[in-house]
Amino acid sequence: MHEYCHVLRFPQGWQMPMFVKEKYGSQLPVHKFSLYDDYEFRIPGVLGTRFLVRGISVPTKAYSLNIYAVYLFDPTAVPQPANEDEWNSATVVPLRYVGPADALLKYLRSLGHPFDASGDHEKEAVSVSPDRAVVIKQSWSGTLGGPGSSDIPGDFSISLPFSRPHGKLFLDVYDAESGKKLVTITTSFVNTYPENILGKTGWVTERYFFVPLDEKREKCLICDFGRSR
């Protein structure tokens, strides 16, 4: 995995405003940044190696007060503060496929490869890079918890009154044209549901794939598939 991926940490986390103003003038409270929220990436000027990133609250669409400038290609680079003027003049990077689900499935079938998943279950099952060169099959194994779930793997004789969600997440990365598997990225999840992570992965251009790693979204996994091509 280290051939492709590194962990990006946002040193000051995400500072959210207390309220956001609606178009009719009312004020909506903004909660602390959490696993239900998202990132927004932008490109300042001509496409290069420097990006801007900001936290965005999903229910209120409120932006974080702080903005970072990041170099995604450099595992040693520390995100630096960026300003509002630079953010406003930058171009938004679409992070996820937007279109009919059947069109994406039709494209995947046309490639003629199985793109098998390592996990037992699929959530937000597949992500395709914008240039359609890389296919990532997303899956998970484990338990979602709840009444009657067992915390002991393989032990079906014990029924606990409550079990927390826990297990493994799998990202199987394939070369779309050849169907060859490039790498399988594996991580654990606990006290959260798989879709809270797998549903928030995305692409920053056709080169970088990101996976949020913690509840407050203060770090994420950045996988650089540009060099491998």
| Structural domain contains residue 226 | no
Which of the residue ranges 48-52, 120-124, 156-160 has the most confident prediction, judged by mean pLDDT? Answer: 48-52
Residue 65 CB partners (closer than 8 Å, separation 6+): 15, 16, 17
Q: Same domain, yes or no, for 117 and 182?
A: yes
pLDDT tier, 21 (very low <50, low <70, confident <90, very high otherwise):
low
Three-state DSSP class for 104? helix
Three-state DSSP class for 103? helix
Q: Same domain, yes or no, for 82 and 137?
A: no
Range of the domain at 40: 1-93+212-219
Q: Same domain, yes or no, for 88 and 32?
A: yes
Q: Same domain, yes or no, for 134 and 81?
A: no
Helix (H) or strand (E) holding 194: helix 194-198
| Structural domain contains residue 157 | yes
| Structural domain contains residue 228 | no
Average of per-residue pLDDT values in the chain: 84
Q: Same domain, yes or no, for 200 and 106?
A: yes
Q: What is the pTM of this model?
A: 0.83
As given in the structure block, the two tokens for residue 8 are 């990006």
| Structural domain contains residue 37 | yes
Instruction: Specify the range with the lowest mean pLDDT, choosing from 113-117, 144-148, 205-209.
Output: 144-148
Residue 146: its pLDDT value, please?
A: 66
Q: Are 58 and 64 in contact (CB under 8 A)?
A: no
- Specify the number of domains making up the chain: 2
Burial class (CB in 10 A: 0-12, 13-18, 19+), 122: middle
| Structural domain contains residue 224 | no
Residue 196: its pLDDT value, please?
A: 85
Residue 148: its pLDDT value, please?
A: 47
pLDDT tier, 153 (very low <50, low <70, confident <90, very high otherwise):
very low
Mean pLDDT of 83-107: 87
Residue 64: its pLDDT value, please?
A: 92
Q: Same domain, yes or no, for 104 and 176?
A: yes
Amino acid identity, position 98: V
